[in-house]
Structure 1
Amino acid sequence: MDKSRLTTDALAKLPTDQFYQQLQTSQHGLSSQQAAALLTKVGPNTIQQTKSRSQLKAFLKNFTSLMALLLWVSGFIAMFTGMIELGIAIWAVNLINGCFSFWQEHAAQKATDSLKEMLPTYTHVIRDGATTQINATDLVPGDVFTIQAGNSISADARIMQATALQVDESALTGESLAVDKRAAYAKGDGKFAESNVVYAGTVAVNGTATAVALQTGMQTEFGQIATLTQHQKNTVSPLTAELDRLTRQISLIAILIGVIFFIAAIFFVHYPVAKSFVFALGMIVAFIPEGLLPTVTLSLAQGVTRMSKKHALVKELSSVETLGETTVICSDKTGTLTQNQMTINHVWLPDQIYKVSGQGYVNNGQLLYQQQPVDLTTAPDLALLLRVAALDNDTEIQPGKTPQAKPKIMGTPTEAAHLILAQKSGLDLKQLADRYPRVQELPFDSDRKRMTTIHTQPAGQPVIYVKGALDGILAISDTILEHGQRRPLTDADIQRINAANQHYAGEGLRSMAIATRAFDGQAGLPSDPADCTIENTEQHLTFVGLTVMADPPRPEIYDAVAKCHRANIRIIMVTGDSPLTAKSVATKIGITSDQARVITGDELAAMSATDLQAAVKGEVIFARVAPEQKYRIVQANQHNGEIVASTGDGVNDAPALKQADIGIAMGVTGTDVAKDAADMILTDDNFASIVAAIEEGRTVYSNLQKFLLYILNSNVPEAVPSVLFLFSRGLIPLPLTVMQILTVDLGTDMLPALGLGAEKSEPGVMDQPPRARNAHLLNKAIIWKAFGWYGLIASILSTVAYFFVNWLHGWPNVALAGSGDTYIMATTMTLAAIVFCQIAAAINCRTKVNSVFSVGLFSNHHVWWGIIFEVGLLAALMYIPVLQGLFNTTAIMGRDWLLLLSIPIPLVLIEEGRKAIVRQLNH
């Protein structure tokens, strides 16, 4: 039989001799020759990328967008028709914008790239009958290797021998509790649940084992999920799609206008065809916002910078804006909504219940201790429970390398929680271990679900400490400790203990029982602790109490969830944890009400796409889901028209991260596969950072509309001079040249527009629902404001400036000049009037409805530096001889500057009046 045709489950079930035969190995491992041959056949034990990123392709994509292509064509036409300077200017802008976009995205990508370090560097294997250390990349199917606590597991493998082995599979399953593993096969509940199989990328947290590799590299479950992620197509971000649409709209308008003016120039003005074409090109240039792409790119880059300061690293610039559109967040529980850290929050004793706080124990609302340890001599039952929790324990907590670093847990999170519980009470763990030295241990196993240790007390008498699952410990207990005294355990006691346990379970908490036994040599107990066995020791126990624990929610999660609700953003929990725990956590932190529907992975597998799409419209929680099911949930929401953000940190989250409109990975606890699949990485693993990022995304979109309004409003005064020229049949010479139009689009407009991109959030940005999916950047309100309000006023003023200069030189008694000093002065004043109208527009565009004075007239320094720059650039064009000849400008006098400086003030006041009326009408 071909072993490749056997599933992992089938291999796990085979009798030992058939299993070794199937993999052509033995308990003594492979020979070096066999391993070398297999390595050549199956390849190295690494996670490979199916497609390597092409830097050339990434670079070139920045020059092939619709707007970029349009600018390439415009520049070529300009040079072809003799306007070399214009063509070079357009191409230069395209090159600068493309290079900047590539640099920004490359820098973000470089910050997130990392080696695939989830697999360990070395593995101890048995080769040629002897144990040897090899690089984990050289591990092959059939290799026999050893596992110890703290080891990352290098391959999918079947366990042949195990002692108290527990494995953290949260990277695959999302389950926060360590899983017991043993050599005997049992199917278990859900995927990855075979009792005698361990998986690559998981971590052994307790015990030891010997295992045989079943699959390595890309054939492991870890590798299969990575492959699934890599094969998914990258979706086009909503902003990219919207910019493409906007480009098509503007391009079509510009080209149609160009065609109309080309025909009109021939038939109305009787221009030659070549001259008419140049004239039409000027109109196209006037209506195409050449500065749109640079300003969008730079605005998004500013958003990336601001978000990085809020612990959100964005890999793709367009993802910034996508966040602002998010309507649904599909969030993992463990490590995302919770801290991925088991914490004991209650201690239940028969005569007392303690609530554990971050500082100590709270009894009836009174803090038993704050700065000083509690006096355990006044609470002997609690003192005994704490002693058992600390000593009946194989885990070690190593301090971080720095005071700020988190301590490292060498063992299981559950046992670590018990050590921390003892530390919170003020116990010195080392002194305690010295006073009560361990002399014997009966290790934990998944059949008994308990662990027993025997210690020597200060008086010299041994004592037995036991902790484990409640049902098993109650079954072997016959006494109970209450008020410091042991008495017989009654049925009423058992009912009371079980009721407490069920109450905590209903709240999504997990209980562990604590018990002891005096070493009295009675009831079959040997006199020598070395002779203790499970059979003669674990009986006639005294029940002490329960420790109650949970993986607590992040402290900041409550406010973050509340903000999402106010912003009409739904959160759907998608976890590998149990339904009871998932619902408890979701209800506690306010994601859903207790009426929410809980769908398990098995139920999801049986659901049709239509049923799933209907289910995700309501309050729903997904629990016990398999990796391949996560992105089905994302897809279902997307089919419903939602814009979906998916969060996660494990390998199991990667397909959903890739499928989502925006994938958000955890930077600290996240796996490399998850980070590679995500669009954004949270450097602090803080769910609240997602909300801050969403707020930033909404602000970025609002700012995009602000500078779109700002850029487009200058199109009207740029186009009106050509309209005057056309409809006067040439009697009114062109008040504005093509190079002067380009000066406004690419020069004076640029920095104020970027300043608008840095505008802070307006009040209430997170109290509004996400905009509709069919909403567009360029909407009727912006078109009306740009063309019918700002643009119209600027057109009137710039036209007045043109005729004012001619009036000073004898018009209308003297015909309008088409060349000479008067004409140059007139075009210069027309350009200057447009620039000063844009100064007013930059100030007015800072707010949509609120008064600019309410946000601070000078609060946005970027806008004011942009205004200073555009005035300086205008002055340079007027007074530097080389630029005068290139842009058809000349120096103006002091009275002309006074006229120009008087333009912005009334425009700002008029707009403030309009906004006040709008606010009043909306009130």
Structure 2
Amino acid sequence: MMSRMKNVESTKIDQSAKTSVDDLMKQFDLPVGGLSQSEAAKRLAQYGPNTIQQVKHKSEILIFLENFTSLMAILLWVSGIIAMFAGMMELGIAIWAVNLINGCFSYWQQHAAQKATDSLKKMLPSYVKVNRDGKTQQIQVEQLVPGDLFQIQAGDSVPADARIFNSSNLQVDESSLTGESVPVEKADHYQHGDGEFAQQNIIFAGTVVTNGTANAIAVATGMQTEFGRIARLTESQKKVIYPLQRELNHLTRQLTVIAIVLGIAFFLLAVFFVHYPFAQSFIFALGMIVAFIPEGLLPTVTLSLAQGTQRMAKKHALLKNLNSVETLGETTVICSDKTGTLTQNQMTINHIWLVSGDYEVTGTGYVTNGKIRKNGQDVNGQPASDLGRLLAIATLNNDTEVNEDPNGGKAKILGTPTEAALVILSRKAGMNIKEENQQFPRLKELPFDSGRKLMTTITKDQTGNPLIYTKGALGSELKICDQILDGDKVRPLTAADRERINGINEQYSKQGLRTLAFSYRNVSVDDPLRKTAIDDYTIDTAERHMVFVGLTMMSDPPRPEIFKAVKNCKRANIRIIMVTGDSPITAKSIAVKIGITSDKARVISGEELDQMSDQELKAAVKGEVIFARVAPEHKFRIVTMCQENGDIVASTGDGVNDAPALKRADIGIAMGVTGTDVAKDAADMILTDDNFASIVSAIEEGRTVYSNLQKFLLYILNSNVPEAAPSVIFLVTRGLVPLPLTVMQILTVDLGTDLLPALGLGIEKAEPGIMDQPPRPQNSHLLNKSIIWKAFGLYGLTASVISTAAYFFVNHVNGWPNIPLASSGLPYAEATTITLGAIVFCQIAAAMNCRTQISSVFSIGLFSNRRIWLGIGVEIVLIACLMYQPFLQEIFNTGPLNFSEWVFLFCIPIPLFLLEEGRKWLVRKIRGQKTTV
């Protein structure tokens, strides 16, 4: 459907481009003086306002309610109902309160995101000049209709898809649609270039005029424009489910099955083994189901992810959805745009070629922080001979201003990126551009046009003679030159010279560099043109008998930090696929230069991609591949095929054309500085510094978050075994041994003492080497065999033995076995209290042991995580309050402990911690790792 929609829209645009202006005016029933107001009103009613219509979304109420309907949330609602049904009203209310707080927090995080269509609407200009009723009027852009004649000039945003019928030196920045970093030349005659949006006489809504003026006929407005098509494409794209959401759903199903199976088992044992009354056994089983569901897991996960987003914000990565934090850690492929993401989106001259020698130009971007060098030596001041002449042409044959930001921000250019690069080149040579223009005033300009691909200016030299300066495409320059400047001498331009110059041009073009040629003509007294008045200079008379000077080579340079970032991605086994609207040669040159691919990488154009089947594309994206000259439909198709290969895909971008892919990807990453609002709203993450390297830091944080999720999952679940052990003892002894732990005491651990240390585990720093590991397999789960063994085996059984022994020890002190075990009263309360205390202090050891998986805790700093120590302090205070506050004693069936019993509790964590340190040391030794990682 999307492909069909694209073909229909493209056919309409191409038909408008090929149709003559006269026929187009007949087609739109357009008078010479423009539409009448009455006709415009009819068309406005027919076609609708020239706006990007917002697709209906879910109501805020539904969005709010979705935060309370995940599988884990539903499990907690049911658990609350069960607790209330079992007569534990306070417990049920507490569980529901946890769910409400968690849901409200998640909604608040999501509410900050804006709708992509709102941003699309904001990008359109507010007013436009149109011809109506035979005169020029200024109207609101929403009132523009198909068939309207309108005017645009440099600095204007294009308000509609339109056919040019009159233009002067028009250049348009289409990067928001194509990703192409250099403005394209537009004219009033049809010519179709490479890729999408390449009709020379068509301008598109949402693009920006960088140079020149034009009159145009609106052929499509609002949602019928290419801009609107992308809006429909973005809106129709459903966001994929985050991997963490899938994993938490899987975990919920696992825990639900475990809890229900154990509940049924306890119910059957209570009825048929202990011979408990049916109703009492049912309530007992329901209590055990509630106890085995980790009520603290969901809020702990939510708050841990929130902490992850805060840490990532400090690293210039803003996340709009909590679940996307962990998705970063799973990323296997990054589909990255080139312009503005991998590169600076600032054209920079880095080489100058002259007959007398080559020059290197240092420094990148629109700032004068570089030098012109020859053989390692700086060129200081305005040089003489051929280099001086080239710099003079670059300075005086130039209509662009570059205003550098004194605070180090991005410079603002008034004109074209190519001329901005020439301005910076002149400044690097130490030239004062303002003084040069005053000293050599311009007499006339022959503007650039796409036919001859040259721009010529006539200035006055110091002796009063006219100087003709020309810059443009090499092929066009060589046609008008018959001499060449060699050092400070002018000689004939030979065939060998032409062959050499073309060879140099081809050599640099293969490197993805754009060349610009320069020539001049000194109209001396004996020049035949001297007899012609300056105003009568024409292209035919002025652009001939020129002296060829040399070439400049420019490119949109890679970001300085990108090289290290790419290496880190490869170290982490993450592939980068460049997806750009730029040319294949430029795309491959940049990809090879920064290390994304080797020179053997396959380059697939948008046209070639259209011919590929899904299976062919799936195979292609598995290898070294670069996509160039691609359209918006191509981008999310590439992302989709990567996903169907089993990859977790992050897609970066900054333009309107990137929005569908950003929304389709597992995690969309938009540029915060250069990115359009559309890209930012479609994305899950925004880089506030536009730094690709920040993605790598965010991926490390994502991996750390997942590792920490496993750590506190281990921590939370390992207490379930000692919580269940007392009930097992009760059942095995057929009720002769009273319950060593009540359900309310179990919930004290789950919702009380465990919570803060668990949150402390959520902010642990990454263990060394986390980025040297491949992304975790998608078939791996949070609750894996290692966690099950540790939680229910090693840690859980150890805590069960200690807490059960504590229960019987207190009973022994109180006279057991000579006196039967009490099922009520102070001795029973004291026995259950020390059982609870033993579990809590075993959890203190577990909190320390869970901080690392293999590394020694001493290697990361025993006291480096203050949140854990704060949590330990709080849980000790909490357990003390339960022991000594009378009203809490009644609710939780607890009693006071004596000094010796407190000493026993404080001794529990020490051997458990040291034994686990010994186990980790043994594991490291077996694996051949350093004992202090």
TM-score by length of 1: 0.97
Which residue number corresponds to residue 664 of structure 2?
A: 659
The answer on whether the counterparts of 1:330 and 1:573 sit within 8 Å (CA) in structure 2 is: yes
Tell me by how many angstroms 1:842 deviates: 0.5
Displacement of 1:110 after TM fit?
Answer: 9.8
Q: Give the Å deviation of 1:529.
A: 1.5
CA shift digits 1:18-72 (9 cap, x unpaired): 2012112234222222222222222222223313353222211111111111111
Aligned-partner Cα distance in 1 for 2:701–2:680: 21
Alignment of 1:699-848 (within 5 A): 699-848=704-853
Closer, same or farther: CA 893–526 of 1 in aligned 2, 3 Å:
farther
The residue number in structure 2 matching 1:310 is: 315
Match for residue 146 of structure 1 among 141, 145, 151: 151
User: Any unmatched runs of 5+ in structure 2?
Assistant: 1-7, 364-368, 929-933
- Map 1:857-872 → 2, pairs under 5 A: 857-872=862-877
Q: Quick one: distance in 1 between partners of 2:801 and 2:288? A: 18
Q: CA deviation at 1:115?
A: 7.3
Q: Secondary structure at the match of 2:35?
A: coil
> Secondary structure of the residue that 2:739 maps to in structure 1?
coil
1:224 aligns with 2:239: no
Closer/same/farther in 2, CA of residues 12 and 31 from structure 1, 3 Å limit: same
Secondary structure of the residue aligned to 1:25 is: coil
The residue number in structure 1 matching 2:161 is 156
Structure-1 residue corresponding to 2:463 = 459
Amino acid at match of 2:538: T
CA distance in 1, matches of 2:495, 2:292: 87
Q: For residues 34-49 of structure 1, what are the structure 2 equivalents within 5 Å?
A: 34-49=39-54
1:109-508 alignment runs, 5 A limit: 116-358=121-363, 359-368=369-378, 374-377=380-383, 379-400=384-405, 403-508=407-512
Partner of residue 366, structure 2: none
**2:609 counterpart letter in structure 1:** L
Query: Structure 1, residues 97-140: CA drift from partner, whole Å, max 9, x if none?
Result: 11122222324669998674321122111222221222222221
Matched residue SS, 1:376: coil
Structure 1 residues 116 and 889: CA distance shift in structure 2, 3 A: farther
In structure 2, C-alpha distance between the alignment counterparts of 1:898 and 1:885, rounded to whole Å: 25
Rounded to whole Å, the distance in 2 between the matches of 1:130 and 1:522 is 47
Confirm or deny: 8 A CA contact 1:525 1:532 kept in the other structure.
Answer: no
The offset of 1:80, in angstroms, is 2.0
Shift of 1:331: 0.7
**What are the superposed Cα offsets for residues 255-306 of structure 1, whole Å, 9 maximum, x if unpaired?**
0110111111111222222211221122112221111100110111111111
The 2-side partners of 1:17 and 1:114 are apart by 36
**Separation of aligned partners in 1, 2:685 and 2:874:** 34
Letter in 1 for 2:30: T
The answer as to whether partners of 1:525 and 1:537 remain within 8 angstroms in 2 is no
Tell me the amino acid that sits aligned with residue 368 of structure 1.
D
What is the match of residue 561 of structure 1? 566
Partner SS state of residue 63, structure 1:
coil
Encode CA deviations 1:418-439: one digit per residue, 9 max, x unaligned.
1111111111111111111111
**1:527 CA displacement:** 3.4
CA distance in 1, matches of 2:840, 2:293: 18
- Following superposition, the deviation at residue 6 of structure 1 comes to 7.0
Instruction: Work out whether residues 109 and 315 of structure 1, in 8 Å CA contact, stay in contact via their aligned partners in 2.
Output: no
Q: Give, in angstroms, the shift of residue 523 of structure 1.
A: 4.3
Q: 1:753 to 1:306 in 2, by over 3 A?
A: same
- Secondary structure, in 3 states, of the residue corresponding to 1:98? helix
How many Å apart are 1:501 and its aligned residue? 0.8
Give per-residue Cα distances to partners, 1:71-92, cap 9 Å, x unaligned: 1111112112221111111111
- Kindly state the Cα deviation for residue 17 of structure 1 after the two structures are TM-superposed: 2.0
**Secondary structure of 1:900's match?**
helix
Amino acid at match of 1:486: V
In the alignment, is the contact (CA less than 8 A) between 2:161 and 2:202 conserved in 1? yes
Q: What amino acid is the match of 2:474?
A: L
Is 1:59 matched up with 2:64?
yes
Rounded Cα–Cα distance in structure 2 between residues aligned with 1:104 and 1:878: 39
Amino acid of the structure 1 residue aligned with 2:814: H
**Where in structure 1 are there 5+ consecutive unaligned residues?**
none
Moved more, 178-187 or 112-121: 112-121
Distance 1:118 1:785 in 2: 55
Match of residue 104 from structure 2: 99
Displacement of 1:868 in angstroms is 1.2
The Cα of 1:336 is off from its aligned counterpart by 0.8
Which residue of 907, 919, 922 corresponds with 1:902?
907
CA contact (8 A) 1:361 1:367 kept: no
- Give the alignment partner of residue 21 of structure 2, picking from 16, 26, 31: 16
- Checking the alignment, whether the CA contact within 8 Å between 1:114 and 1:672 is kept in structure 2 is yes
Rounded to whole Å, the distance in 1 between the matches of 2:206 and 2:687 is: 21
Query: If the length of structure 2 is used for normalisation, what is the TM-score?
Result: 0.96
The structure-2 alpha-carbon separation of the partners of 1:340 and 1:475, relative to structure 1 and needing over 3 Å to count, comes to same
Larger displacement relative to structure 2 (315-324 or 454-463): 454-463
Q: Report the Cα distance in structure 2 between the residues aligned to 1:524 and 1:459, rounded to whole angstroms.
A: 17
Q: Distance in 2 between matches of 1:231 and 1:582?
A: 29
**Mapped contact 1:116–1:672 kept (Cα < 8 A):** no
AA of the residue aligned to 1:503: Q
Rounded to whole Å, the distance in 1 between the matches of 2:58 and 2:327 is 23
Check the 8 A contact 2:109/2:320 in 1, yes or no.
Answer: no
Is the Cα–Cα contact under 8 Å of residues 670 and 685 in structure 2 kept in the other structure? yes
- For residues 304-344 of structure 1, what are the alpha-carbon distances to aligned partners after superposition, in whole Å with 9 as ceiling and x for unaligned? 11111111111111111111001111111111111111110
Report what 2:676 is aligned to: 671
Q: Give me the whole-angstrom Cα distance separating, in 2, the residues matched to 1:616 and 1:702.
A: 29
Does the CA contact (< 8 Å) of 1:354 and 1:361 recur in 2?
no
Name which of structure 1's ranges 281-290 and 769-778 shifts more when overlaid on structure 2.
281-290
Amino acid at match of 2:694: S
CA contact (8 A) 1:108 1:314 kept: no
TM-superposition CA deviations, 1:574-594 (whole Å, max 9, x none): 111111111111000000000
Mean Cα deviation higher: 684-693 or 100-109: 100-109
How far, CA to CA, are the matches of 1:115 and 1:651 in structure 2?
8
Which region of structure 1 is more displaced relative to structure 2, 490-499 or 21-30? 21-30
Amino acid at match of 1:342: M
Whether 2:91 is the aligned partner of 1:81: answer no
Which residue identity does 2:848 align to in structure 1?
A: I
Task: Please give the alpha-carbon distance, in whole angstroms, between the structure 1 residues aligned to 2:362 and 2:768.
Answer: 37
Judge conservation of contact 2:297–2:713 (CA < 8 Å) in 1.
yes
CA distance in 2, matches of 1:627, 1:534: 40
Q: Distance in 2 between matches of 1:579 and 1:111?
A: 30
Task: Pick one of 911, 916, 922 that aligns with 1:911.
Answer: 916
> Matches of 1:108 and 1:299 in 2, distance apart?
20
Mapped contact 2:173–2:183 kept (Cα < 8 A): yes
Superposed displacement of residue 617, structure 1: 1.0
**Residues 108 and 816 of structure 1: CA distance in aligned 2, closer, same or farther (over 3 Å):** farther
Q: Deviations over 1:350-386 (max 9, x none)?
A: 10211100244353552405xxxx1334x43212211
The letter for the 2-side match of 1:496 is: R
- Give SS of 2:623's match: coil
